[in-house]
Structure 1
């Protein structure tokens, strides 16, 4: 069992190192695309594409005040953007009613594919 724990520890350390390296490479690629003023480019045999998304980050206090119905709040228990979106799509919650309870956060996704 000690060998498994040791291997798990080693792999977790390796994962941290890989995630750090990926974050650095991602930032370098984003900087390059920004300098080139492009969201899509080909570099060697790879196609690089930036996809910009807006994500909602809810304020729990504002959302709770707005959704004071205990049955609706019980469905959420805390502001989970996916759950809120589902309840909005099902017309359990009106988008207009909760518009003031979140801020939009712009997120850039990086996609790299081989040609």
Structure 2
């Protein structure tokens, strides 16, 4: 068990280092694309694509007030954008009922693929 715990610790440290390096590389690539004013770029055998998205971040208290039916609230258990979107699509809840329960967050995704 000692070896497993030691290996787990080593891997977690390696994961932290990898995530830090990924973050730094991501920032450098994003900055390069911003400087070049491009969102799609081919570099060598790789293609870089910048995708901008909006995500809704729900406020638990406001959402609970907007959805007084405990049955609907239990279906959600915690705000999950895809579950909420599905309930709207199924007409279980209306977009109007939850209009003031979320804020929209703009995010930018970096995709790097091999050609």
TM-score interval, normalised by the smaller of the two chains? over 0.9
| Unpaired segments ≥5 residues, structure 1 | none
* Whole-Å separation in 1 of the counterparts to 2:67 and 2:38: 42
RMSD: 1.0
Q: Which residue of 2 aligns with 1:21?
A: 21
Q: Which residue of 2 aligns with 1:90?
A: 90
Extract structure 1 runs of 4+ deviating beyond 4 A: none
| Unpaired segments ≥5 residues, structure 2 | none
How many residues were matched structurally?
Answer: 115
* Whole-Å separation in 1 of the counterparts to 2:77 and 2:44: 48
* Whole-Å separation in 1 of the counterparts to 2:46 and 2:71: 50
* Whole-Å separation in 1 of the counterparts to 2:92 and 2:112: 38
* Whole-Å separation in 2 of the counterparts to 1:106 and 1:88: 21
